Amino acid sequence: MPFIYNRSVYFRDTDAAGVVYFAQVLVICHEAYEASLAAFGINLRTFFQNSELAIPITHASVDFLRPIYCGDRLLVYLTPQLASETEFQVKYALFVDQQDKPVSQALTRHVCIHPTQRKRQPLSEEMQQWCQKCQG
């Protein structure tokens, strides 16, 4: 079962064209990723400032299928997938509440490295479990 993140669309998400600014969709996807980690029991403050291990995003892509408006209720379906012992990807499908078709779809790729040496290293046991649990 994918993780589902609920999120209202706020004024700050929009631009002068009256809809959500394109890059803001990836911000919302990352919020969903954080919500999913927190729900799994991971401390976000130490996760993002770990001096031994970092999991930066190496690639992101996003398709914009329908405009999203201020006040819309978004549901973000998040599905991670282990690619190797050092790498995973996360897929996101964004729906506006009570609509059948997604408004957007996105993907992020994450690689585990040492934050200063920037060499690959294995994902923690915990992150592998998070991937497996959300994957169902």
Of 15, 63, 72, 100, the catalytic one is 15
For residue 93, the one-letter residue type is A
What angle do the packed helices 22-39 and 125-135 form, to 10 degrees? 110
- Under rule CB under 8 A, which residues in 53-112 are in contact with its own copies? 54, 56-64, 67, 69-72, 108
Half-sphere exposure of 81 (CA within 13 A, CB side): 9
Using rule CB under 8 A, residue 18 touches its own copies: yes
Q: How many residues bind its own copies (CB under 8 A)?
A: 45
State the nearest-atom distance from the C-beta of 31 to its own copies, in Å. Answer: 5
Using rule CB under 8 A, residue 36 touches its own copies: no
Q: Is 126 left (phi over 0), alpha (psi -120 to 50) or beta?
A: alpha
Q: CB nearer to its own copies: give 78 or 136.
A: 78
In a 3-state reduction of DSSP, which class is residue 63? strand
Q: Give buried/exposed letters for 94-125 (b at 16+ CB in 10 A, else e).
A: bbbeeeeebbbbbbbbbbbbeeeeeeebebbe
User: Which residue in 43, 84, 99, 129 binds its own copies (CB under 8 A)?
Assistant: 43
User: Which residue in 2, 4, 31, 40 binds its own copies (CB under 8 A)?
Assistant: 31
Which residues make up the interface to its own copies (CB under 8 A)? 8, 10-12, 14-19, 21-24, 26-27, 30-31, 34-35, 38, 43-45, 47-49, 54, 56-64, 67, 69-72, 108, 115, 118
